């Protein structure tokens, strides 16, 4: 059905030329209003919504090329690559579900989180008006859509995680996480009698296999898994999602966990679920795992599933306020 598409994105210079930020723009850290910060965040939204990270594209292409030529799995992965190139070229959302909008902000001492939050919320409203984001914030019981991606109480959406650090630059990470993949996330409490899973790495492995089995194609496979062992119910889930910001192919700093990541990725790809659950060799693109400290009585395994359209980018405003996008 389809020709083999080569994964060439728009050259970086073209992306820079389309930037919303004036040339040589820099954030003035000393200006307490942080004027212009919202525009930098809007530029981050533009790039995240329309341009997939290169490591994800490379993994999809490797998956495609490992499938039998012209099989349904091959053609589906090829369509995904086609979609990536179209969205990048048109600067339109890769997927109509532009997800829950999740920011990870790390900032030096002395900057106001209240001010940064105002800018981020303004950027989200403008990003929605420019159709890089779909209005994805609804009142839970009535289902009423706020229309601009903001919850009126400023505590639910967009999600903003702030962290003060001892470095001079601001780092803003953005993840757009679709509802389909969020719905197939899972949390286990070990021991799990039904799975026969004990409080050890073998038990953790069983939980991960079970979660991928239950997800089948519904999280838009091939997915990327974030797994947190331990923590409490909140920190476990939170961490399992935060590590989805990692780059595929970069090994874990702990060599034991690095080995587990590689082995599990291999094993999960023998399940035969394949892209979109059509069957095939590519069920996951990768797996990130971390170990947290826990209460002696609790042993949680928290799993976040990210769809193949893993939209994540990081913007750094260096010590001089100059923006850099990864």
Partner 1 sequence: MLHHLTTPLTEDKVRQLKVGDEVLLSGRLILSRDVGHKYMKEEKPEWLKPLLKDMVIYHCGPVVHQKSDGSWTFIAAGPTTSIREEPYQADIIEHYQVRAVIGKGGMGNQTSRGLQATGAVYLHATGGAGTLLAECVERVVEVHKLKEFGSPEAFWVIEVKDFPVVVTMDSHGASLHEQVAQSSAKIAEQLMKS
Instruction: Tell me the DSSP string of 177-209.
Output: E-HHHHHT-EEEESSBTTTTB-SSHHHHHHHHH
The minimum distance between CB 129 and partner 1, in angstroms, equals 10
Minimum gap (Å) between residue 156 Cβ and partner 1: 16
- For residue 108, the minimal CB distance to partner 1 (Å) is 36
Of 170 and 289, nearer to partner 1 (C-beta) is 289
Q: Which is nearer to partner 1, 222 or 231 (CB)?
A: 222
Report the nearest approach of partner 1 to the CB of residue 257 (Å).
Answer: 19
Q: Are 46 and 91 in contact (CB under 8 A)?
A: yes
Q: Which is nearer to partner 1, 98 or 302 (CB)?
A: 98
Distance between CA atoms of residues 51 and 280, nearest Å: 26
What angle, 0 to 180 degrees and rounded to 10, lies between the N-to-C axes of helices 201-215 and 255-268? 40
Starting at the earlier edge strand, list the strands of the sheet with 159-164.
Answer: 159-164, 100-107, 170-177, 311-317, 323-325
Distances (CA, A) of 297 to 189, 193, 293: 10, 16, 12
* Cβ 283 to partner 1 shortest distance, Å: 8
Where does this chain bind partner 1 (CB under 8 A)? 1, 72, 76, 79-80, 82-83, 86-87, 90, 92-98, 131, 134-136, 138, 143-145, 147, 178-180, 183, 195-196, 205-206, 209-210, 213, 216-218, 220, 267, 270-274, 276-279, 307-309
Alpha-carbon gap, residue 49 to 174, rounded angstroms: 10
- Residue 145: how many CB atoms within 10 A of its CB? 13
Name which of 273 and 317 has its Cβ closer to partner 1. Answer: 273
3-state secondary structure (DSSP) of residue 102:
strand
Q: Identify which of residues 221 and 240 has a Cβ nearer to partner 1 in the complex.
A: 221
């Amino acid at each position: 059905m389809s020709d083999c598409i080569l994964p060439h994105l728009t050259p970086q210079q073209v992306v820079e030329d389309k930037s919303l930020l004036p040339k040589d723009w820099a954030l003035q850290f000393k200006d307490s209003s942080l004027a212009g910060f919202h525009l930098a965040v809007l530029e981050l939204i533009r790039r995240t919504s329309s341009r997939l990270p290169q490591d994800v594209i490379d993994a999809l292409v490797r998956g495609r090329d490992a499938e039998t030529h012209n099989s349904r799995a091959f053609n589906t992965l090829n369509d995904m690559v086609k979609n990536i190139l179209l969205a990048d070229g048109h600067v339109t959302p890769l997927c109509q579900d532009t997800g829950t909008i999740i920011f990870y902000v790390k900032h030096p001492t002395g900057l106001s989180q209240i001010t940064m939050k105002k800018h981020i919320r303004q950027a989200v409203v403008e990003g929605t008006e420019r159709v890089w984001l779909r209005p994805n914030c609804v009142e839970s019981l009535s289902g009423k859509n706020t229309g601009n991606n903001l919850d009126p109480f400023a505590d639910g959406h967009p999600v903003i995680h702030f962290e003060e650090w001892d470095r001079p630059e601001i780092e803003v990470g953005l993840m757009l996480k679709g509802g389909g993949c969020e719905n197939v996330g899972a949390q286990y409490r070990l021991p799990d009698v039904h799975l026969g899973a004990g409080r050890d790495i073998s038990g953790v492995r069983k939980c991960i296999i079970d979660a991928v089995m239950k997800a089948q194609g519904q999280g838009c496979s091939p997915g990327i898994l974030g797994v947190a062992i331990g923590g409490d119910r909140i920190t476990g889930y939170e961490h399992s999602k935060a590590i989805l910001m990692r780059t595929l192919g970069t090994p874990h700093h702990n060599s034991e966990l690095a080995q587990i990541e590689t082995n599990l990725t291999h094993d999960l790809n023998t399940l035969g679920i394949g892209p979109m659950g059509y069957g095939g060799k590519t069920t996951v693109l990768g797996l990130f795992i971390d170990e947290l400290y826990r209460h002696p009585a609790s042993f949680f395994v928290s799993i976040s599933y990210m769809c193949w359209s893993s939209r994540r980018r990081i913007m750094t405003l260096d010590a001089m306020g100059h923006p850099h996008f990864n």
